[in-house]
Amino acid sequence: MKGLRILLVDDEPLMRLSMVDALETIGHDVEASASGTEGIDAIRQRPFDLVITDLRLPGADGLTVLTAAKKQSPHTEVMVITAHGSVETAVGAMKLGAFDYITKPFQMDELLLIVERVGRVVTLRRENQDLKAVLEDKFSFGGILGANNQMRAVLEKIKLVAGTDSTTLILGESGTGKELVANAIHQNSARSHYPLIKVSCAALPETLLEAELFGHEKGAFTGAVRQRRGRFELAHRGTLFLDEIGEISPVVQVKLLRVLQERQFERVGGNDRIDVDVRLVCATQKDLRKEVSQGRFREDLFYRLNVVHVVIPPLRQRQEDIMIIAEHVLKMCSSKMNKMVKGFSTAARELFLRYSFPGNVRELENMVERAVALGRDREAIQPSDLCGFQSCPFTGGLPQESCGFCSEGLTGQKREERPLTSLATAREQFEREYIVSVLERVEGSRTTASKILGLSRKTLWEKCKRYGIPSARDESGGEEE
């Protein structure tokens, strides 16, 4: 913990001196004031992480000091010192936002313990701010984190696309952040003051989806007791996000094509033509070109939707982003759940880098959230916190089938289905598979792969040769012999 900037307000010179002494000895930067008024002056002049104040003071009392400190900066923590028997005032102080209180007479150790707790909160907050600043600055747009080159290109494209009115198609596997991208496009567009309306096309059967999108007139069908405006109308001047567009039926495809061509439509059961000014953003996990070639999706609609497309790569192809997102989620969850978990153990990091994340960022988020909630180690997330199964062989314990780490995640082959061999052969087999998978995921860069594997480039080259792994690309020039 770095030293805290502390203001101490107490009118008893001896108490003040001994507290200043104790706090400075353990590395804090302490300023002392002998009255409430003097304390409030100090608070106005420079920021403090912690204000320790006696409640009964000449001039302004401790509660006034507390209020002034909180008003100046809500992040300043305040600890109050109360006289024996005046717990009610202490409770009042807590209600005004004090971090904690201590009753006189007290041992210096008791005071230092509270200060240490404040220190942990302040450190976490500083780290959060640092991380946030770094991420916001460099690798983030609209809450989408990404340091990987492909992801940075995606972020740049989103920035450009947001400024236009073009229909946009977002493609990516489940959990890659398609909805997040749609949000970012809308929030950063000129339409951001108007609604962003979302429709999940897979959630509704054909007829309901039609009515949902275009609205209906009174009596259009059984149950249509009054006229209802559809999502296109609700999104007027804003953005309509059609999620899972690959699921819409041929009938709805035709209707949608017409709106895109004419910017007009009729409500179900109605004749009035309705004009809308809507920007369309669509998303799908499906390979829409394939759907077109197999006759399931209209080609003309595909071209109308695919004016601009954003392809989000799966998480396993952007190794650099795994820890950035994991750290971010960890910070968010631990402050939300009021935990002090600081990071991930080396073994946990290694597991992350070996895992293929079929559920992409959503899976990573859930994994980290569960680890923070249930983790046993207060300081760092351990491999055993990451697996939902207590007896996972990778994260500790006996073999178990259905964990991402212990079954499909690593090799696509369940461990018990493998041929029985000697340990040496199994080890070599694993080593070969693992080197191949790392090389694939770093797009063949032997320098990066050797860093991840903790090997020198020469050793990696030797291993590749021994296992017959094709020569890899290397940034620093040529193939090694």
Ligand X SMILES: Nc1ncnc2c1ncn2[C@@H]1O[C@H](COP(=O)(O)OP(=O)(O)OP(=O)(O)O)[C@@H](O)[C@H]1O
361: partner contacted, choices Mg ion, ligand X, none (Cβ within 5-8 A by kind): ligand X
Q: How far apart are CA 353 and CA 440, in angstroms?
A: 13
Angle formed at CA 388 by CA 151 and CA 382, multiple of 5 degrees: 75
Choose between 174 and 459: whose C-beta lies nearer to ligand X: 174
Q: Which of residues 249-288 bind ligand X (CB under 6 A)?
A: 285
Q: Indicate whether 428 belongs to the interface with Mg ion (CB under 5 A).
A: no
Beta carbon nearer to ligand X, 141 or 297: 141
149 binds ligand X (CB under 6 A): no
Contact (Cβ atoms closer than 8 angstroms) between residue 259 and residue 303: no
Q: What, of Mg ion, ligand X, none, does residue 39 touch, CB below 5 to 8 Å by kind?
A: none
The CB-of-281 to Mg ion minimum distance in angstroms stands at: 12
Q: Closest Cα to residue 278, out of 252, 290, 260?
A: 260
CB 133, min distance to ligand X, A: 16
Question: Beta-carbon neighbour count of residue 258 at 10 Å?
Answer: 14
Asked whether position 61 contacts ligand X by CB under 6 A, the answer is no
How many binding residues for ligand X (CB under 6 A)?
16
146 sits near ligand X (criterion: CB under 6 A)? yes
Q: Please, are residues 32 and 40 in contact by the beta-carbon 8 Å criterion?
A: no
Partner from ligand X, Mg ion, none binding residue 82, C-beta < 5-8 Å depending on class: none
Q: Which does 146 bind (CB under 5 to 8 A by kind): Mg ion, ligand X, none?
A: ligand X
Shortest separation between residue 322's beta carbon and ligand X, angstroms: 11
Q: Hey, which residues does 380 pair with through a beta bridge?
A: 343
| Nearer Cβ to ligand X (319/450) | 319
In the complex, what is the shortest distance from the CB of residue 331 to ligand X, in angstroms, rounded to a whole number? 12
Q: State the amino acid at position 403 in one-letter form.
A: C
For 222-237, b/e burial (b = at least 16 CB within 10 A) is eebeeebebbbbebbe
| Residue 62 or 146 having the CB closest to ligand X | 146
List the one residue from 16, 28, 70, 178 that touches ligand X (CB under 6 A).
178
Are the beta carbons of 287 and 174 closer than 8 angstroms?
Answer: no
Taking the alpha carbons at both ends of the chain, their separation in whole angstroms is: 49
**Number of residues counted as binding Mg ion (CB under 5 A):** 1
Name the nearest CA neighbour of 177 among 360, 331, 301, 18.
360
In 225-277, beta strands by DSSP E: 228-229, 239-243, 264-265, 274-275
Residue 406 binds which entry of Mg ion, ligand X, none, with Cβ cut-offs from 5 to 8 Å by kind?
A: none
| Piece of 43-51, 72-80, 168-176, 248-256 that binds ligand X (CB under 6 A) | 168-176
Under the binding rule (CB under 5 A), the answer on residue 179 touching Mg ion is yes
Interstrand relation of 140-141 and 144-145 (parallel, antiparallel or unpaired): antiparallel
Query: Does 173 participate in binding Mg ion (rule CB under 5 A)?
Result: no
Binding mask 325-364 for ligand X (x = CB under 6 A): x-----------------------------------xx--
* Residue (12 or 179) nearer to Mg ion, CB: 179
Applying CB under 5 A, the span of 42-50, 103-111, 178-186, 272-280 interacting with Mg ion comes to 178-186
CA–CA separation, 140 and 272 (whole Å): 45
Q: Which stretch binds Mg ion (CB under 5 A): 48-56, 176-184, 217-225, 385-393?
A: 176-184
State both tokens at 204. 């509704």
> Dihedral of CA 416/420/426/429: which sign?
negative
175 near ligand X (CB under 6 A): yes
Distance in angstroms (rounded) separating the CA atoms of residues 212 and 220? 13
- Least distance in angstroms from the C-beta of 303 to ligand X: 23
Exactly one of 30, 51, 79, 145 binds ligand X (CB under 6 A); that residue is 145
Rounded to whole angstroms, the Cα distance separating 369 from 356 reads 18
Alpha carbon of residue 404 to chain centroid: 20
Q: Pick from 36, 172, 238, 409: which binds ligand X (CB under 6 A)?
A: 172
Q: Which positions from 179 through 198 interact with ligand X, judged by CB under 6 A? A: 179-180
Nearest distance from C-beta of residue 254 to Mg ion, angstroms: 25
CB neighbours of residue 247 within 10 Å? 19
Burial 278-295 (b: 16+ CB within 10 A, else e): bbbbbbbbeebeebbeee
Rounded Cα distance between 219 and 225, Å, is 6
Task: Decide whether 325 or 460 has the Cβ nearer to ligand X.
Answer: 325
Applying CB under 5 A, which residues contact Mg ion? 179
Applying CB under 6 A, which residues contact ligand X? 144-146, 172, 174-180, 285, 325, 361-362, 365
